[in-house]
Structure 1
Amino acid sequence: ALIGVSIAWRAGREWETVLKFINAIPFNLRDPILHQDVATYVFKLPFYNLLYQYLLLTVIAALIATAAMYLMSSAIEFVVQRRYVAPYVKTHITAILSAFLLVKAFGYRLDMYKLLFDYGIGRVVVWGVGYTDAHIRLPVLYLLMALAIIGAILLLLNIYWRAVKLIAAVIIVMVGTSLLAGVALPNLVQQFIVKPNELMAERKYLTYNIQFTLKGFGLDDAVSKSYTVEQQLTQELLNRNKDTINSIRLWDYRPLRQTYDQLQEIRFYYDFYDVDVDRYYINGQYQQVTIAARELNYELLPQAARRWVSQRLQYTHGYGVCMSPVHEIDKGGLPRFHIKDIPPRWSGPGDPPPHLVIRRPEIYYGELDAPYVIVRTRTPEIDYPKGAGMQTFQTCIYQGKGGVPVGSLLRRILFALRFSDWNILLSRSLTRESRIMFYRQITQRVQRLAPFLMYDRDPYIVIAYGRLYWIIDAYTTTQLFPYSEPANMDKRRFNYIRNSVKVVIDAYNGHVTFYIADSKDPLVRVYARIFPALFLPLSDMPSQLRGHLRYPVDLFSIQSRVYCKYHMTAPEQFYNREDEWEIANEVFGSGAGAIESASRGQTRMGRIQQVEPYYVIMRLPGEHRLGFLLMLPFTPVQKDNMIAWMAAHCDPPRYGDILVYRFPKGQLIQGPMQIEARIDQ
């Protein structure tokens, strides 16, 4: 009974595995070794592994329990002068051992599948099945599976023969074959046949590895182009690219956050947690801007305001945003704000565009950690500071539908227990209309709703329809895509990733909507089958929000790291790493003389780090219109000259298209570190 309860408890935690198995759909892509649809590995293999573990545990537990029961009943005796096993005991144990071998045969079949997901024995060249796996380990697993089935049949026949030696012989053959053919032989073949002829032996399997890794990370459709750099800067060249030059990004979001803090926090308890990069149409021009939400940071509240009434009923929300164009600086060297102050006001050129007028600037849900708050109480909320010196406050009563009703006595008792806070029950400020808001940190909020998705680390704020919204990019991932070398992010390991979901959170009421952005992804289609009410098609997203979707930085960073090696699609080139790249380095926070101690990875005025992907508005070579792009430069390994750069389109209809511009190998194109050194000279 205890074993049954344990198995049932664990099975309940594997709900996702079971539901994905039930709702599996094909990838319409087969692996080149076992010729199974990829769905077999992604959706079915986890369930088969789970089933195998339960069957194996059940059989072993049955064998141990049966033997113990018969020992206690003296049906089995092993003493010095007497060895006795009752005939019916032999029959029972033989049947269990036969079941054990059948389960092992199932396990050997699963082991064949698992060959597609690792480096295997003694290899560091191919991820997935290599020469030794295909010619030795795979046939050995077929042999072991056949021996296990034959052994199970012989043991069943042994119920009538009752020969103890037959049981021993079956066990010896299985163990011996496993050790000799499954361990020793593959190592010998790898060492003495494959290694001396590694490239020749592994060529075909390297091709599979390259093809499936590119597919797994969505790079198989990346377009690579040669690009010849103009060495002479001419007026005609400048005129031809005037719109790109006028959009050159002057402000880096990282130091800009400090400037926003100094100029626009207004009160010490407000905080700009992050500065985001986006684009808007302003006075008919497509402009790249930085935008930051002014959130309430509870850690910055004065000690006098850290009472229950202040923290839970009064200080409930942040207020407004700041926005400035990335390509403009005022006379004092500061950002030229388009939106600033409290309440937010337009300070850009001309009248405020209608789509940038903010009628609901309150931020109840944001990026900062925030405790639960209760709204619609008898205690008015502090909306924002006002008056001379901002010494007084504008108060407000929440008008939205966010949170959960907490007005009834029963609900107050339950929430008091939930938060271990009896003030919820005892406070006289609560009314029948009161609502309690919790899970107000937006990443935590969406993770509670859809824990099976992986989320981008950079949510960004958007102005649309007079309100503030957060957009978070969400990913579907698996580490069971055959032949694909895995990558890591946030302690998660995967070899397949798609930005299949865009999540929108209303900053005022906390409403969360999941939109399917990649309907071709089998993973998100399976999740949509499991949770049909959770997802909406991207066409249902309001147009003002859809215009601010962008290619996510985290995904682009992962793809860039993978492409540094897997852009080499010729097996010979890949094997020798003849043209391996790395993401270019930069000096962050540098100044004069910053390169003096670069060899130690630290500069006098800054530190050396890899360039982060960055958004730009530019017109690509050969194209006629400006586009919002995410881009990143590459250099050869351990070199500073630029060899290529990658860009991803953020605007429809080419959203998600990846382009790689390669520079001539015989021509020196200076990279960021070399330009930095020239500036410092």
Structure 2
Amino acid sequence: WGQVDPIFSKDLSFYVFWLPVLDAAVVYTLVVTFLVLALTAAVYAAAGGATLGSGRFRLSEEARRHLGVILASVLLLLAARWYLSGFGLLINGNSAVQGIFGFADSEARLPALQTMSIVAIGAAAAILWGSWRNRPAAVAGAFGAVIIGGALITNLYPSVVQSFRVEPNELERETPFILQNMEFTRLAYGIDEKSLERRPFDFDASAPIDWGEAAEQFSGLPIWGSGTGAPLLTTYREVEARFQYYDFDRVSIDRYHTDDGLVPVTIAVRHVDPTGIPDQNWQNLHLRERYVAGLGAVASAANSRTAEGRPEMLLRGLPPETLKSSVGSVPLQLD
């Protein structure tokens, strides 16, 4: 280790080992303390320490001080959570540039989190004082300051900075942070300027092109796209879904070995779409096999199509059956 970050000057080991442990400990303690607060309030209400009568809510002195201490503890833990979240921004930033730590994080979110930590500590002190001195206005004001401040400072203020300072000149604002991210990415992969070898690229535009060789090189490229918005996905849904409760989420491209080398194949998994089940009762949604599990997959050659312009299927039907297809000059069969 021995390398520090450029914002807090902390060793990188802190973000790998200590930060996850501290964050988990604070969150766990916060949840437990909040549950203790709720249970304590319920016990006092059942025992008569907290009553509501004549339009007024009354707490006994013991209940008021006890609940005040627990509520102050909750706010102190929130302060610790906000403080640690500032370090977390360096790992999970909110920049529009691939989620790195960006300008709005540095100039708005980080100061906002630090400010809310101070506000929460002050609110905890005010709640302790108010509960001991029987000043309900101080308790309510402190709690309200945390809620309103959390909404305005940690959410609204960074959005304003992003909209009015970053987006009008995003490249200039984000460039220093992009360079920092690139530097530490190289460091993570052990790539530095000394390990890079720069070679000149020589290209003779006047040299003749061997179109036969070029055609052979491009023959294995997919002509069908993958993903959730691929036209092939629409074809699969129309032809191979078969029932309204079956669907395909996305098309993926895999490659299989043949005598001619690697051949690209498009694959989609048939799964159950609960919204398409005709009678959506509990038995159909949870027990009946046809509505619980998908049935097989479909596959087609990614680098060829039929004379009609449709995909050349390799795996299709219900139940699924494999088909022999000529991809290039070698029959390809999925088993």
Which band: TM-score by shorter chain? 0.5 to 0.7
1:224 partnered with 2:218: no
How far apart, in 2, do the equivalents of 1:101 and 1:160 lie?
17
RMSD of aligned alpha carbons: 2.9
In structure 2, what is the equivalent of residue 58 of structure 1?
Answer: 32
In structure 1, what is the equivalent of residue 325 of structure 2?
Answer: none
Pick the aligned partner of 1:42 from 16, 27, 32. 16
CA displacement 1:540-583 (0-9 Å, x = unmatched)? xxxxxxxxxxxxxxxxxxxxxxxxxxxxxxxxxxxxxxxxxxxx
Q: Is the 8 A contact 1:126 1:206 kept in 2?
A: no
SS in 1 for 2:57: strand
In structure 2, what is the equivalent of residue 198 of structure 1?
Answer: 170
Q: Is the 8 A contact 1:118 1:127 kept in 2?
A: yes
Pick the aligned partner of 1:595 from 194, 219, 244. 219
Structure number having the greater strand percentage: 1
Amino acid corresponding to residue 169 of structure 1 in structure 2: G
Structure 1 residues 177 and 42: CA distance shift in structure 2, 3 A = same
In structure 1, what is the equivalent of residue 299 of structure 2?
Answer: none
- Displacement, 1:594? 7.7
- Displacement, 1:217? 2.2
In structure 1, what is the equivalent of residue 63 of structure 2?
Answer: 89
CA displacement 1:237-262 (0-9 Å, x = unmatched)? xxxxxxxxxxxxxxxxxxxxxxxxxx
SS in 1 for 2:13: helix
In structure 2, what is the equivalent of residue 133 of structure 1?
Answer: 105
In structure 1, what is the equivalent of residue 132 of structure 2?
Answer: 160
CA displacement 1:277-334 (0-9 Å, x = unmatched)? xxxxxxxxxxxxxxxxxxxxxxxxxxxxxxxxxxxxxxxxxxxxxxxxxxxxxxxxxx
Please list, as runs of the form range in 1=range in 2, the aligned pairs for 1:17-416 lying within 5 A after superposition.
Answer: 27-79=1-53, 81=55, 83-120=57-94, 123-125=95-97, 127-220=99-192, 222-227=195-200
Sequence identity of aligned pairs in percent?
25
How far apart, in 2, do the equivalents of 1:32 and 1:596 lie?
46
Please list, as runs of the form range in 1=range in 2, the aligned pairs for 1:512-551 lying within 5 A after superposition.
Answer: none
Q: Is the 8 A contact 1:126 1:209 kept in 2?
A: no
SS in 2 for 1:226: coil
- Displacement, 1:215? 1.2
Unpaired segments ≥5 residues, structure 1? 1-26, 232-590, 610-681
Q: Is the 8 A contact 1:98 1:155 kept in 2?
A: yes
Unpaired segments ≥5 residues, structure 2? 205-214, 226-252, 266-335
Structure number having the greater helix percentage: 2
How far apart, in 2, do the equivalents of 1:199 and 1:180 lie?
27
Tell me: higher relative CO, structure 1 or 2? Use CA pairs within 8 A at least 6 residues apart: 1
How far apart, in 2, do the equivalents of 1:212 and 1:597 lie?
35
- Displacement, 1:223? 1.5
How far apart, in 1, do the equivalents of 2:58 and 2:146 lie?
26
In structure 2, what is the equivalent of residue 558 of structure 1?
Answer: none
How far apart, in 2, do the equivalents of 1:593 and 1:34 lie?
51
How far apart, in 2, do the equivalents of 1:96 and 1:87 lie?
14
Q: Is the 8 A contact 1:117 1:127 kept in 2?
A: no
In structure 2, what is the equivalent of residue 588 of structure 1?
Answer: none
Amino acid corresponding to residue 213 of structure 1 in structure 2: T
SS in 1 for 2:90: helix
Give the TM-score, by structure 2 length: 0.60
- Displacement, 1:59? 1.1
Q: Is the 8 A contact 1:127 1:209 kept in 2?
A: no
Give the TM-score, by structure 1 length: 0.31
Question: Across the two proteins, how many residue pairs are aligned to each other?
Answer: 223
SS in 2 for 1:148: helix
Pick the aligned partner of 1:607 from 244, 256, 263. 263
In structure 2, what is the equivalent of residue 614 of structure 1?
Answer: none
- Displacement, 1:60? 0.7
Structure 1 residues 600 and 84: CA distance shift in structure 2, 3 A = closer
How far apart, in 1, do the equivalents of 2:216 and 2:4 lie?
56
How far apart, in 2, do the equivalents of 1:179 and 1:45 lie?
25
How far apart, in 1, do the equivalents of 2:130 and 2:168 lie?
48
Structure 1 residues 193 and 592: CA distance shift in structure 2, 3 A = closer
